[in-house]
Structure 1
Amino acid sequence: MGRVLRFLVKVVLMAGVFYGVAYLLDGVQVVPNPDGPLGEPGTWLWIALIFALVNAVVGPVLRLLSLPFVLLTLGLFLLVVNAALLGITAALTDRLQVDGIGTAILGGLLLAVGAWIVDQLTEKR
């Protein structure tokens, strides 16, 4: 599978993960846009794409800057980093709303688990 196709499959699967996170957590709301080019599913794809870009661009910088805290907490600080990435994604789009730091941390944890599963499903074999 080519890189572009693998990336597109990951975005589609992460849209499903976002749907699950929004379904499970009351504090994470997605405002679908039925009038968009792809309808309501397009909103989920848009949010997953923005999250993928934020995770690819801002994620490594945040992880590097927080490395002492990650080492000090034996990796638990990565939950705060994931919450920050979710918050940045919510700030970049008006279609995603996160209602607080606790919800962002739990949402970041669920997204990290979901992203790990997506990576396992789409990795090269």
Structure 2
Amino acid sequence: MLANFAIKTVINGIALWVAAWAVPGITFGRDMPASSVFLTVLVVAVIFGVVNSLVRPLLTVLTLPFIILTLGLFVFVVNALMLQLTSWLADKFDLAFHVEHFFWDAVLGALIITFVSMLLGFLKPEK
């Protein structure tokens, strides 16, 4: 179980890093040494995993009519909200992770994170 959590955290970290690399409005601290950026990515990945496991199911149930009405596309808005919440929590913990704008940066970042996580999830061993 701990190994599965570690693998998911690494996958989240890679997906967050790719989103920060691809979207100019998502940043992991500017002018920081590589070791600090790595540690920030790791801690933000843990926060992102906790937010996705605790808040996302509740928000998905609450927005289910919108998800059904939009044929599932509203899930990307829910994912963007989780990314924005992670940015807010990272700010509370004084971590150098920030998402600038909700619509363009968070939604595009959520799309990238979903795609990268899906691709890396295929490589994850089953047991």
Fold shared, TM-score > 0.5 on shorter chain: yes
Partner of 2:37: 40
Aligned residues of 1:13 and 1:118 also touching (Cα < 8 A):
yes
The sequence identity of aligned pairs, in percent, is 33
Contact 2:11 2:121 in 1 (8 A): no
Alignment-derived partner of residue 27 in structure 2: 29
Deviation readout 1:41-99 (Å, 9 max, x if unpaired): 11111111100000000010011101000000000100100000000000001221111
Structure 1 gaps of 5+ residues are none
Unmatched segments (≥5 aa) in structure 2: none
* Residue of structure 2 in register with 1:13 after alignment: 11
Q: What stretches of structure 1 move > 6 A for 4+ residues in a row? A: none
What is the CA RMSD across the aligned residues, in angstroms? 1.9
Contact 2:20 2:28 (8 Å CA) reproduced: yes
Aligned length: 121
TM-score calculated relative to the size of structure 1: 0.87
Task: Say whether 1:103 aligns with 2:108.
Answer: no
TM-score by length of 2: 0.86
Q: 1:59 to 1:123 in 2, by over 3 A?
A: farther
- In structure 2, C-alpha distance between the alignment counterparts of 1:53 and 1:117, rounded to whole Å: 21
Q: Residue 88 of structure 1 is aligned with which of 85, 90, 99?
A: 85
